[in-house]
Amino acid sequence: MPTRAQFDRLFPERIAFYSYEGFVAALAATPGLAASGSAQLRRQEMAAFLAQIAHESDQLRAVREYERANWDHYCRRDPGESCAPGKQYYGRGPIQLSWNYQYLAAGRALGIDLWADPDRVAGDATVAWQTALWYWMTQIGPGRMTAHEAMLRGEGFGETTRSINGALECDKPGDAAIQRKLERRIGFYRQAAELFGAPPGERLAC
Q: State the CB neighbour count (10 A cutoff) for residue 64.
A: 17
In a domain, 133, yes or no: yes
Could you report the per-residue pLDDT of 159-197, keeping only the tens digit for each? 999 999 999 999 988 899 999 999 999 999 999 999 999
pLDDT the model gives residue 174 = 85
In a domain, 171, yes or no: yes
Q: State the CB neighbour count (10 A cutoff) for residue 137.
A: 18
Could you report the per-residue pLDDT of 9-18, keeping only the tens digit for each? 999 999 999 9
Average pLDDT across the chain, whole number:
95
In a domain, 10, yes or no: yes
Measured between its terminal Cα atoms, the distance across the chain in Å is 26
In a domain, 85, yes or no: no
Structure pTM?
0.95
In a domain, 93, yes or no: no
Mean of pLDDT values over 133-146? 96
By three-state DSSP, how is residue 19 classified? coil
Q: Which amino acid is at 57?
A: S
Radius of gyration of the chain (CA): 16
Mean of pLDDT values over 97-114? 97
In a domain, 177, yes or no: yes
**Residue 42 to residue 89: CA distance in whole angstroms:** 32
Could you report the per-residue pLDDT of 16-44, keeping only the tens digit for each? 999 999 999 999 888 899 999 999 999 99
**DSSP β-bridge partners for residue 64:** 92
**DSSP β-bridge partners for residue 92:** 64, 97
Sign of the Cα torsion 63, 68, 72, 73 reads negative
| Domain tally, the chain | 1
pLDDT the model gives residue 70 = 93
Asked if the model's pLDDT at residue 130 lies above 90, the reply is yes
List the CATH number of the domain containing 175.
1.10.530.10
The closest alpha carbon to 52, from 93, 80, 94, 105, belongs to 94
In a domain, 201, yes or no: no
**Residue 35 to residue 116: CA distance in whole angstroms:** 32
pLDDT the model gives residue 199 = 97
Q: pLDDT > 70: what percent of the chain?
A: 100
Range of the domain at 154: 4-62+126-195
Q: Which residues does the annotation mark as catalytic?
A: 56
**Residue 198 to residue 16: CA distance in whole angstroms:** 28
